[in-house]
Amino acid sequence: MSAAERLAIRVGAGSVSALLLRPQGARALLVLAHGAGAGMTHRFLEGFAAALAAGGIATLRYQFPYAEAGSRRPDPRARLLETVRAAVAAGAESAGGLPLLAGGKSMGGRMTSLAAAEAPLPSVRGLVFAGFPLHPAGRPGTERAAHLAQVELPMLFLQGTRDHLADLALLRPICEGLGARATLHVVEGADHGFAVLRRSGRSAEDVLRELAEAVAAFAERVTAPR
C-alpha cells in the first residue's frame, strides 16, 4: 500500500496538517477527524485508516488547530466546526470523483455531526462515528445527541459494549428514534478506544477489520445510485 500523502488545509488565517491515504480502486473517501485527547497520528486512527484502505475506503485524516499547535485543550466549538467544514471541502477536492463520507473518532465525530446539523456539508453522503461520545464518563445522559434530529444524512454509529462514554441502553433508543437515517454497529467487548479484553480471543486487528467492514458496507449503501 502506498504511503499517506501529506497535505495542508487552510482554516481561517492559518492551516492544519492532513494525511490522505488513497488505495488503488478506492470506492469512497472518508474525511476523518481525531478525538479530543490525541491527534490524527494516534495508533487507533493509523490502524483504522489502514484497515479502511484494505477494504477500499480512502481517508483524509486531519488535525484540529489545537492539536496542530501541540496543545491538549480543544479549540472553542466554533473553531472546531470551522475546521470540520474546511476539511470536508479539502476532502471533496481530493476525492477525484469518489463519493464522500465524513466523521471521526469520539469528539471528532460529534463535531462533524454538529456541523452537519447547523448546515449541509457539501457533497457528503453519510456520517461515520467511531465511538460517539454520548455523555461524560460516569454521568449518563442524552443531551449531546439532541442535535442529531437535525442531521439529514445517514449516520453510522460504531460503538463498543464497554464504552464508558456511551451507555448502549441510552444510545439504542436514540438510533431507533432517528429511523432509517441511523445504523448502529455494536462491537462486542470493545471499550471507547475499541480495545477488547485478551480473554475475548480477538486481536486489535480483528476489531479494526470489523469496523472497516461496517464502514465499507455503509458506504456501499449510502453511495449506491438511486
| Span 80-126, pLDDT tens digits | 999 999 999 999 999 989 999 999 999 999 999 999 999 999 999 99
Banded pLDDT at 1 (limits 50, 70, 90): low
- Rounded distance between C-alpha atoms, residue 204 and residue 47, angstroms: 9
Fold topology of 5-223: Rossmann fold (3.40.50)
Find out whether 96 and 60 touch, Cβ atoms under 8 Å: no
CA–CA separation, 190 and 204 (whole Å): 10
Three-state SS at 21: strand
* Residue range 159-183: mean pLDDT, rounded: 97
- How many CB atoms neighbour CB 13 within 10 A? 5
Half-sphere exposure of 13 (CA within 13 A, CB side): 0
Among 120, 134, 131, CA closest to 156: 131
- Residue 215: the pLDDT is 98
Cell of 77: 466549538
Q: What average pLDDT does this structure show over 53-69?
A: 97
Average pLDDT of the residues in 144-151: 98
**Mean pLDDT score of the chain:** 96
pLDDT at 204 over 80: yes
- The answer, yes or no, to whether residue 213 has pLDDT greater than 60, is yes
- What per-residue confidence (pLDDT) applies to 59? 98
Where are the chain's structural domains?
5-223
CA distance 131 to 195: 12
